[in-house]
Chain A
């Protein structure tokens, strides 16, 4: 049990659909992250939230829109995706995301996204 849950576990969508991925952490952490994992590539950090404020956006296309209503929940809203966006999307959390810290990140099981 990692303490980080993600729903749905699998998602198939067309390029014109709008869907959302949900992440919830039960660890009392204040930082949450979205990563994209594609085959044979390093994990790509997409977004970072610290105390509900977005602190990092790694040049992610606007068709991905994050939302962090509170420290325990993180969403990734998807619209007009492309087939190359098919990947495993991982959510993670850590105690904080501030310059002086090097906290362990705890991951959810991921959402396997397929864009047709």
Chain B
């Protein structure tokens, strides 16, 4: 069945450090891939998405590229800020519009 595996946290970085959160997926079809972010006390917000192979999603300095050959959708940001501290979820939507979420990766950025 379909599934998403993302790196376990927590991740702690200093401000302006480079961020990578790994995400790999298993899917039977040609899924759309998403990164959601959850700030403390809030629901999930869509951060970026990609709908086909080699697409790059980007938003607020975050990027992720849909890699079909490695079934990956790693999240990256060149210089993190304290305000980026949150939990990040990788997700896929496959045929049937069913969403599958990873377990989430907690990021803390310290000044």
What does the 1/0 interface line of B35-67 toward A look like (CB < 8 Å)?
010000111111001010000000000000000
Q: Roughly how many angstroms separate A98 CA and B95 CA in the complex, as a whole number?
A: 9
Are A109 and B95 CB-contacts (below 8 A) given A42-B103, A102-B32? Answer: no
With a cutoff of 8 Å between Cβ atoms, the chain B residues found around residue A6 in the complex are 43
B: interface residue count bin: 20 to 34
Main SS of chain B's interface residues?
Answer: strand
Q: Roughly how many angstroms separate A101 CA and B44 CA in the complex, as a whole number?
A: 21
Please state if A107 and B99 are interface contacts (CB–CB under 8 Å): no
Main SS of chain A's interface residues?
Answer: loop
B73 within 8 A of A: no
Please state if A102 and B45 are interface contacts (CB–CB under 8 Å): no
Q: Roughly how many angstroms separate A109 CA and B97 CA in the complex, as a whole number?
A: 22
Please state if B44 and A103 are interface contacts (CB–CB under 8 Å): no
B contacts, CB < 8 Å to A: 31-32, 34, 36, 41-46, 49, 51, 89, 93-104
Apart from A42-B104, A102-B97, A103-B93, list 12 A-B contacts with CB within 8 A. Answer: A2-B45, A6-B43, A31-B97, A42-B101, A90-B44, A97-B97, A99-B95, A99-B96, A102-B95, A104-B93, A107-B36, A110-B43
Can you list 20 pairs linking A and B with CB atoms under 8 Å apart?
A2-B45, A41-B103, A43-B89, A90-B44, A94-B97, A99-B95, A99-B96, A99-B97, A102-B31, A102-B93, A103-B97, A104-B46, A104-B49, A104-B93, A107-B43, A107-B45, A108-B43, A109-B41, A109-B42, A109-B43
